Structure 1
């Protein structure tokens, strides 16, 4: 019997997607190919490269503070941008890797590193980030109501407001969202820990701006907001571009893992600024990251040719689109993708 997975709807080429389940490749086959690369890789490949990037941007921190201190507006603007880039490297790139335990071979360090980068530096609740990203988004990628990226949707906002204006409110909203989430799950001890950790991180950057950059208290607060809003627009874009608009499934009829990730995840092109700000596993290797979430950014980049070749040779999709392609799509189909309920892909077959 010819068993197929059917997409109820049309893809970009206006044809119905089908796949024969009896010829669907096994994830274990891909895993064995990737294992060959992993066995040939050193500590530097697994962790060293990404820690070196952290070290480089840590050295740039005093440079950004001194630029902000300058009287010329151009130097000050450059300093604010650099401070925002540094913050994103630690809070987004390293916070993401730490949440997955991808910054150290010793798993004892995984949670403390996640707390440092996500909560102390990033000012977002590490507990909420773990629940949303690790416990829901990855196991249930593109599953309606669980891991469908709906947390990024604000349907009452017009398209241009959402795409180009609202993201600058992320810095002050992050603590409020964190506290609201912790209150909802009644994690009152978590609220106390969050306030202490995030408060300490905020105090440190305020102190540095006031002492090194000679800012007033409110001037320092404004610069923190401005610097953390610098990359907030592409941050929102990247998070919605990666999954929304791709096939979404019901939990009761979700496909096997390799098909779920191949159809529901998309890579964006490499970008010199965003590669460091967000990391390869969020940008150009997001497919690889969802298949092998325990790997660091550098290792995701290293296995990319293997994963790409395997999926393409297996007639599975390997989704890659340019940033501008996705931006035009979301602006054009904003109501469909971000306001209305997403269409469900019905996966029918023997698993």
Structure 2
């Protein structure tokens, strides 16, 4: 039984529907679910497994020139459409593209996955690909909701109050990201640092150059302001999603973390489908986050396809399957910001899992 729990998606004490499966039983459950998911994957076409997500990324790349051309217009509506196109495309490439490439979910080729990761993470996002993979894949996925390792603490800034964090701080993400990248590059070999710095500089300068020479901006200041606007267009939901789906759920200590299937069932939450965020961030970061944490090598579309199998399995085995709305989580965080984001969260202890 659970001796102490931090909270369910809506902030109430969380009680598992049944005692957590112990050792061998937990492995059996995970193996059974893995077999069911593999059956779905084997029965799926290449288009379902990888093609649809590759097509979304390709369409986003092809739409970028239209966005820059719209910014040439003096018509306010057309200009706003250009900002929207560039902003949504930027987040599709930097969030969806980087996420899938980091998990090797775009192609079976390790070589091309590495090339795509360099493009999406370093050129488009302005962040070192190796650090992104280490922080997200090895730490966050390897130690989901383990305090100090994979507990989404990257996104906590306890020095900020709730309103600044939730409303103002996200606007600075485009500025903070390359600055953090520079700090990370101090810790790597010179050759790797120079390569990463070159790719990051290429992405930032290309954006700036296109605004001046294609969109027709007449001053560096206006071009830089437009860069900031487009690169922060979806920064608020990006930050919110990163905290909504883990923080406020049960947290574990390294020496007493539960088995994988129960760690994911307790410590991960799905949001409902949201069309713009589904496109720009991908299903694995929105409505299929539980499925993504269980099977991180699946593409966004495959996570969506296996979701009914996973949710049905969890219900049948009486395992928690956390879901909540974006607005409900938003108001919950505003109400309990001190508890979730400033104070150290309580550790959940599950008897029989250690």
TM over 0.5: yes
Q: 1:7 matched to which residue of 2?
A: 4
1:151 is the counterpart of 2:154: yes
Q: How does 1:84-103 map to 2 (within 5 A)?
A: 84-103=87-106
The answer to which of 78-87 and 278-287 deviates more is 78-87
Q: 1:198 matched to which residue of 2?
A: 200
Between the two proteins, the alignment pairs up a number of residues equal to 347
Q: Distance in 1 between matches of 2:5 and 2:92?
A: 40
Q: 26, 29, 41: which one pairs with 2:32?
A: 29
Q: 1:19 matched to which residue of 2?
A: 19
CA positional deviation for 1:72: 2.1
CA positional deviation for 1:13: 4.5
RMSD of the TM alignment (CA)? 1.6
CA positional deviation for 1:214: 0.7
Structure 1 residues 8 and 242: CA distance shift in structure 2, 3 A: closer
CA contact (8 A) 1:249 1:347 kept: no
Q: 1:283 matched to which residue of 2?
A: 286
Q: How does 1:1-351 map to 2 (within 5 A)?
A: 4-8=1-5, 11=8, 12-14=11-13, 16-17=15-16, 19-22=19-22, 24=26, 26-183=29-186, 185-216=187-218, 217-349=220-352
Q: Distance in 2 between matches of 1:48 and 1:350?
A: 39
Q: Distance in 1 between matches of 2:188 and 2:258?
A: 34
TM-score, reference length from structure 1: 0.94
Q: Distance in 1 between matches of 2:142 and 2:322?
A: 19
CA contact (8 A) 2:20 2:262 kept: no
Off by >6 Å, runs of 4+ in structure 1: none
CA positional deviation for 1:20: 4.2
CA contact (8 A) 1:128 1:182 kept: no
The answer to which of 203-212 and 340-349 deviates more is 203-212
Residue ranges of structure 1 left out of the alignment (5+ in a row): none
The structure, 1 or 2, with the larger RCO (C-alpha pairs under 8 Å, 6+ apart) is 2
Q: Distance in 1 between matches of 2:311 and 2:96?
A: 23
Give CA deviations for 1:67-87 in whole Å, capped at 9, x if unaligned.
111112232122112101001
CA positional deviation for 1:9: 5.1
CA positional deviation for 1:10: 5.8
CA contact (8 A) 1:124 1:175 kept: yes
Q: Distance in 2 between matches of 1:188 and 1:335?
A: 41
Give CA deviations for 1:42-99 in whole Å, capped at 9, x if unaligned.
1111111011111222222122112111112232122112101001111110110000
Give CA deviations for 1:199-256 in whole Å, capped at 9, x if unaligned.
1112222222222111133322211111011100110000000100011101111100
Q: Distance in 2 between matches of 1:318 and 1:15?
A: 12
The answer to which of 216-225 and 89-98 deviates more is 216-225
CA contact (8 A) 1:125 1:175 kept: no
CA contact (8 A) 2:259 2:353 kept: no
Give CA deviations for 1:312-336 in whole Å, capped at 9, x if unaligned.
1111111110000000100000000
Q: Distance in 2 between matches of 1:324 and 1:8?
A: 23
Q: Distance in 1 between matches of 2:197 and 2:7?
A: 47
SS of structure 2 residue aligned to 1:207: helix
Q: Distance in 2 between matches of 1:350 and 1:298?
A: 32
Q: Distance in 1 between matches of 2:164 and 2:6?
A: 29
CA positional deviation for 1:127: 1.8
